[in-house]
Structure 1
Amino acid sequence: MRVSRSPTDVIRQSPMSVYQYAIIALCVLSYASDGVDVVTLSYAAPALMKEWGISAETFGLAYTATPVGIAVGSFFLSPLADKVGRRTLTLWLLGSLVIMLFLTAVSSSLLMLVTLRLLTGVSLGALVVCLNVTVSEFSNEERSNLLVGILHTGYSAGGMVCGALAALLLEPLGWRALFFAAALLSVVSFVLSLFVLAESPMYLVARRPANALQRLNAIFRRMNKPEFDSLPPAPETVAGGRKGRTIIPRALWFGTGLLCLAGFVFTVSGGFMASWRPKLLDMAQMTMTWNGIAGVCTHGAGIFAHLFVGALARKVGERKIAVIFLIGMGLAFTLLGMVPDGAIVPLIVASTLSGFFNVGAFTAIILVTLNYYDASVRSAGLGIMLGCSRVGGIVGPLLGGFAIGAGFGRFWTLFLFAVILAIPVVAAIYARSRATGAPVPAHA
Structure 2
Amino acid sequence: MNAAPVTSGTGPAVDLGLLVDDGAWTRSRKQVLLLCALAIILDGLDNQILGFAIPSMMAEWGVTRSDFAPALALGYVGMTVGTPLGGFLGDRIGRKVALVGSVILFGLATAAIALAHGPSDISLYRFIAGLGLGGALPAATTLIAEFTPKHRRSLSVMLGIVCIPIGGMIGGLLAAQLLPAYGWRSLFVVSGLAPMLVAVILAFALPESPQYLLRRGADRRRLETSVRALGVAVPAGSHFVDQRGATVARASFGALFESDYRRSTLALWVAFFFCLLPVYVLYAWAPTLLTSKGIDVKLASLGLSLFNFGGVAGCIAAAWAIGRYGSRIGILTMAGAASLGAAILSVIPLSASSQSLLMPLLFVEGFFLLGAQGSLYALATHVYPTSIRSTGVGAAAGFGRAGAIVSAYIGSAALGYGSEAFFGVIVTCLVLTFIAVSVVNLHAASLRRQSYGHA
Instruction: State the TM-score, normalized to the length of structure 1.
Output: 0.82
CA distance 1:415–1:440, change in 2 (3 Å): closer
SS of residue in 2 equivalent to 1:232: strand
**1:37-436 → structure 2 map (5 Å cutoff):** 37-209=46-218, 212-221=219-228, 223-226=231-234, 228-229=236-237, 232=240, 245=255, 247=257, 249=259, 261-313=270-322, 322=331, 324-337=333-346, 338-343=348-353, 344-363=355-374, 386-404=397-415, 407-419=416-428, 421-425=430-434, 431=439
Distance 1:227-1:40 versus aligned 2 partners, 3 A rule: farther
SS of corresponding position for 2:400: helix
What is residue 33 of structure 1 aligned with on the other side?
A: 42
Greater mean alpha carbon deviation, residues 332-341 or residues 85-94: 332-341
Deviation string, structure 1 residues 79-132 (Cα, Å, up to 9, x no partner): 223333222232222222221121112222322211111111111211111111
Deviation readout 1:297-350 (Å, 9 max, x if unpaired): 211110111122333357677556655544543443344342341133222122
Aligned partner of residue 15 in structure 1, secondary structure: coil
Contact 1:66-1:117 within 8 A present in 2 as well:
yes
| Distance of 1:27 and 1:251 partners within structure 2 | 27
In structure 1, list runs of 5 or more residues that go unmatched: 433-438
* Residue 327 to residue 105, structure 1, CA distance change in 2 (3 Å): same
**Cα separation, 2, equivalents of 1:218 and 1:426:** 44
SS at match of 2:170: helix
Question: Secondary structure of the equivalent of 2:240?
Answer: coil
Amino acid at match of 1:342: A
Is the deviation greater in 197-206 or in 27-36? 197-206
Moved more, 163-172 or 417-426: 417-426
Superposed CA deviations along residues 278-308 of structure 1, whole A, max 9, x for unmatched, are 1112122222222232222211110111122
CA shift at 1:27, angstroms? 0.6
Paired residue type of 1:200: S
AA aligned to 2:257 is: I
Q: Between Structure 1 and Structure 2, how many residues are aligned?
A: 431
Q: Quick one: structure 1 residues 154 and 3, their matched pair in 2 at CA, closer, same or farther if it must change by over 3 Å?
A: farther
Relative contact order: is structure 1 or structure 2 higher (C-alpha 8 Å, sep ≥ 6)? 2
Shift of 1:147: 1.2
Deviations 1:14-50 (A, max 9, x none): 3343322222111111111111010111111111122
User: Aligned partners of 2:32, 2:268: CA distance in 1, in Å?
Assistant: 34
1:239 CA displacement? 11
Q: 1:287 to 1:137 in 2, by over 3 A?
A: same
CA offset at residue 264 of structure 1? 3.3
Contact 1:213 1:230 in 2 (8 A): no
1:216 is aligned with what amino acid? L
| Correspondence for 2:29 among 20, 33, 48 | 20
Structure 1 residues 385, 134: CA separation in 2 closer, same or farther (over 3 Å shift)? closer
**Contact 2:248–2:255 under 8 Å retained in 1:** no
CA contact (8 A) 1:329 1:357 kept: yes
Looking at structure 2, the residues matched to 137 and 370 of structure 1 have their Cα atoms a distance apart, in angstroms, of 9
Change (3 A) 1:144 1:440: closer
Q: Which moved more, 1:262-271 or 1:158-167?
A: 262-271
**1:384 to partner: Cα distance:** 6.8
d(CA) in 1 for partners of 2:380 and 2:98? 29
**Deviation of the 1:220 alpha carbon:** 4.1
Deviation at 1:173, TM superposition (A): 0.9
Residue 198 of structure 1 and its aligned partner are, at CA, apart by 1.9
Compared CA separation, residues 426 and 84, structure 1 to 2 (3 A): closer
Contact 1:319 1:368 in 2 (8 A): no
8 Å CA contact 2:134–2:398 kept in 1: the answer is: no
Aligned-residue sequence identity (percent) comes to 22
Question: Separation in 2 of the partners of 1:61 and 1:69?
Answer: 12
State the shift of 1:141 in Å: 3.1
Query: Contact (CA 8 Å) 1:6, 1:232: kept in 2 or not?
Result: yes
Task: State the 1:165 CA deviation.
Answer: 0.8
**TM-score with structure 2 setting the length:** 0.81
| Structure 1 counterpart of 2:4 | none
